[in-house]
Structure 1
Amino acid sequence: MTFHARPTGTVLLPDAAAVVGGHALLRHPSGSRHALLRDAGTIRLADLLAAFDGGPGLLAVVPDPWPGWRNSACGASADGSLIVLAGQRSVLALEADGRTRWEYRHGCWGDGPHAHGSADVPCHGLWSGSCAVSPDGTLVWAHVLPDLDHGDLAVDSYEEWLILDAADGAVPGRARLEGGTGGSNHLPYPDGAHMLLSTGQGQDGTPAYLGHWDGTGLTVREVGDGFRIPVDVHSSGRAFLSTPHGRDGLQLHRSTDGLVVTERAAGDLVADGDEAPRWGYAAGFVDGHTVIAAAHDAGRREERQHWLLDALTLRPLGPVAYPRPVGGYPLALGDGSWLTPDAGGSALLRWKGGRTAA
């Protein structure tokens, strides 16, 4: 059964592919969907849903404080009044007009012992942490290195997950994590008290953590087997979805402890005797009942096919057919729609589709 995707809008962005392929999209449990993008020495916060509806989508434009640093993941409050940047040496909170609210300095993600230059000349290395603003805008979750020079073997053995007060940058919560991260990403839960942190360590795996802030302390537990990539939290907060670091299947996890509820191998997409494809890194909840995921054709990883699946069983419902060429991965918005870049990567396309066969 093939599903025809219906285009519902197009938005031009300075880097549309970063919304779908990177971590530029901010999915707030309130339903807002923002994009935080770098463009010509600035950082732009856009309300994507407003832009797709034809309204003014730009919420804020602030000067980029680290124009030479390209690897930070960013966060913003649901109302757009606070922008938080995860830099190489600090977490920086900015007002919507660009004024600094506070800065929390931490250990440098740069490679090995080294001297620091100016802020616009980053240290060598591609590693970074990430941050996210809580749904109510009062807290910032941040994945950082300890406040010591990187390269000290006693420090390299661990990293930190922090709870920061969004008002002044104070640290009411702190937890140690395994060291060796190359990059990370936050996924918020709708209750505002839980957060998923996905980390990448290259060939060594992708440890993932579930954090819980009870108002007085931060507790953290590792979820998964160290080779899963959490990609989306269900709107109910009761489950999350993960994609494989290797050749394994998609998995649906129970939110409380990461227990695997359902797993679906990519081989279920093809008839007996055909060579099985591989799941890609992208998947998400189109709505409460449907998942969209990308699969690579066997032996031809640059060719991707998008599939709709049942959200509870991950049973394949059918591939997606588009009326025009698209590029990259699909990115589910949770409201019955999903995004892709256009074939050239300069525009962001929004799609809807139901369970009606072509």
Structure 2
Amino acid sequence: MAVARLVATVAAPLDPAFADAPQVLHRPGRALLVQRGDTELVVLDLDVATAGGRLMETRFPAPWPRRFGSVTVSPEGEAAVFAGVHALRCVEATGATRWEVRHGCWEGEDPHTHTSFAEYAADEDHWSADNGSAAFSADGKLVWAHVRGPLGDTGETEDDQELWLVIDATNGTVLGHANTMTVASSSEHTPHPDPAQMGLSVGEGEEGSPVLWGRWDGQRLTTEQLDIERILLAVSPSGRHLLTAPLEQGTLSLHQVQDGTVLRELDAQGTVTPHPGNTGGDRIYWDHEAAFVDEDTVVAGTSVCDARYGTVRHWLVDVREMTLRGEISYPFPVSGHPRSAGGGTWYTISEDRTSVHLWRSH
């Protein structure tokens, strides 16, 4: 059995009744705790927290309520990009808009655009619109974004094709774009240590779940589809490997980033022992999130299939041979999935969503 050591517990800055659950965004050498409310985004420097220093927080005013999209933060925490229904907006902590890229509205089947959030704020159809996502590159110089066309300021995209954009983080210039050939209900980026690479998982509801990999050479964005029914879980610290799971989540797969080749796999069924409360032979499967602790070790959970029986379980996986090192022993019960916090750590969120626990393996 592997033992988890508590590194730090950090209180969520916003009331969970009126905010999304806190999350950790990390790039090499920097980790930030981020929590989104309807009117503001709060960012805390976790490196200061784990060193025992006084927490410094930055608050960004939100251009629209949280139900209308997602948000990402630059590695240095000085800018936030809100990926909304009709636009990407980069906001500074002062409240100033650094730039905005308008795109096709995510609501409805027919391509149309809006000039402002006020045009659809009271329209209930827009409250449950599909959505894209955005992420900063590892060095903070680029923003990668998945949007719906057409783009508001170019004549190059005229219909409602979905686009993957590479944007200059300083001024909002769209440097390159590619058609994702997807029909998304949602998407999520997975950053790579190399600023010129990025992963994108696209949820298409019952239609599939494509995993795309993008490369930017400074002039052109090229993409490849790694799979049509898979979830991208994590990228290794070196950037050489990817961890994925199929939609049914029965298997962890380790891939080469270079060409997407599957190197090794680990089935949950037959490898993970049934939960003590599982007397009916229910299927065992992996969570849809996991964390690389180091290049050779992953923390993966079976928390969703465990939850009905009580305490959730997390596992250390040796990806060199794709074997279980053992179940992780925590000093107190945890909830939910294990998620990467960078620097050899992972995090869990308390069941009431009021705090984040950072962990390291002994």
- Provide structure 2 residue ranges, at least 5 long, that are not aligned to the other structure: 153-157
- Whether the aligned pair in 1 keeps the contact of 2:286 and 2:300 (CA below 8 Å) is yes
Counterpart pick for 1:334 among 327, 332, 342: 342
- Residue 100 of structure 2 is aligned to residue 98 of structure 1: no
Which position in structure 2 is the counterpart of 1:193? Answer: 196
More divergent stretch after superposition (47-56 vs 167-176): 47-56
- Please report how far the alpha carbon of residue 14 of structure 1 lies from its aligned counterpart in structure 2 after TM superposition: 4.0
- Whether the aligned pair in 1 keeps the contact of 2:101 and 2:151 (CA below 8 Å) is no
- Residue 131 of structure 2 is aligned to residue 128 of structure 1: yes
More divergent stretch after superposition (232-241 vs 8-17): 8-17
- Residue 174 of structure 2 is aligned to residue 167 of structure 1: no
Which position in structure 1 is the counterpart of 2:9? Answer: 10
- Please report how far the alpha carbon of residue 148 of structure 1 lies from its aligned counterpart in structure 2 after TM superposition: 7.2
- Please report how far the alpha carbon of residue 59 of structure 1 lies from its aligned counterpart in structure 2 after TM superposition: 4.3
Counterpart pick for 1:315 among 315, 323, 333: 323
Q: Which amino acid aligns with 1:228?
A: R
Q: Distance in 2 between matches of 1:4 and 1:323?
A: 9
Which position in structure 1 is the counterpart of 2:118? Answer: 118
- Residue 287 of structure 2 is aligned to residue 284 of structure 1: no
Counterpart pick for 1:324 among 327, 332, 336: 332
- Whether the aligned pair in 2 keeps the contact of 1:135 and 1:192 (CA below 8 Å) is yes
Give identity over the alignment, percent: 35
- Residue 67 of structure 2 is aligned to residue 64 of structure 1: no
Q: Which amino acid aligns with 1:89?
A: H
Q: What are the residue-to-residue correspondences of 1:1-358 with 2, within 5 Å?
A: 2-14=1-13, 24-28=23-27, 30-39=28-37, 41-67=39-65, 69-112=66-109, 118=118, 120-121=121-122, 123-147=126-150, 155-156=159-160, 158-224=161-227, 226-267=228-269, 268-270=271-273, 276-296=283-303, 303=310, 304-354=312-362
- Please report how far the alpha carbon of residue 171 of structure 1 lies from its aligned counterpart in structure 2 after TM superposition: 1.3
Give secondary structure in 2 for the equivalent of 1:118.
helix
- Please report how far the alpha carbon of residue 241 of structure 1 lies from its aligned counterpart in structure 2 after TM superposition: 0.8
More divergent stretch after superposition (240-249 vs 206-215): 240-249
- Please report how far the alpha carbon of residue 95 of structure 1 lies from its aligned counterpart in structure 2 after TM superposition: 2.0
**What is the TM-score when the length of structure 1 is the normalising length?**
0.86
User: Could you give the per-residue CA deviations for residues 199-258 of structure 1, whole angstroms, max 9, x where no partner exists?
Assistant: 11122221011100000110011112x121112111111101112311430111100121
- Please report how far the alpha carbon of residue 266 of structure 1 lies from its aligned counterpart in structure 2 after TM superposition: 0.1
Q: Which amino acid aligns with 1:238?
A: R
User: Could you give the per-residue CA deviations for residues 46-96 of structure 1, whole angstroms, max 9, x where no partner exists?
Assistant: 2223223333444421211102x4252322221122211111110011123
- Please report how far the alpha carbon of residue 314 of structure 1 lies from its aligned counterpart in structure 2 after TM superposition: 2.3
User: Could you give the per-residue CA deviations for residues 151-181 of structure 1, whole angstroms, max 9, x where no partner exists?
Assistant: xxx945x300011111221112010012311
- Whether the aligned pair in 2 keeps the contact of 1:59 and 1:80 (CA below 8 Å) is no
Change (3 A) 1:247 1:137: closer
Q: Distance in 2 between matches of 1:198 and 1:265?
A: 21
Q: Distance in 1 between matches of 2:314 and 2:68?
A: 28
**What is the TM-score when the length of structure 2 is the normalising length?**
0.85
Q: Distance in 2 between matches of 1:345 and 1:146?
A: 36
Q: Which amino acid aligns with 2:168?
A: D
Q: Distance in 2 between matches of 1:192 and 1:56?
A: 30
More divergent stretch after superposition (84-93 vs 280-289): 280-289
More divergent stretch after superposition (203-212 vs 47-56): 47-56
> Alpha carbon RMSD of aligned pairs, Å?
2.8
Q: Which amino acid aligns with 2:260?
A: G
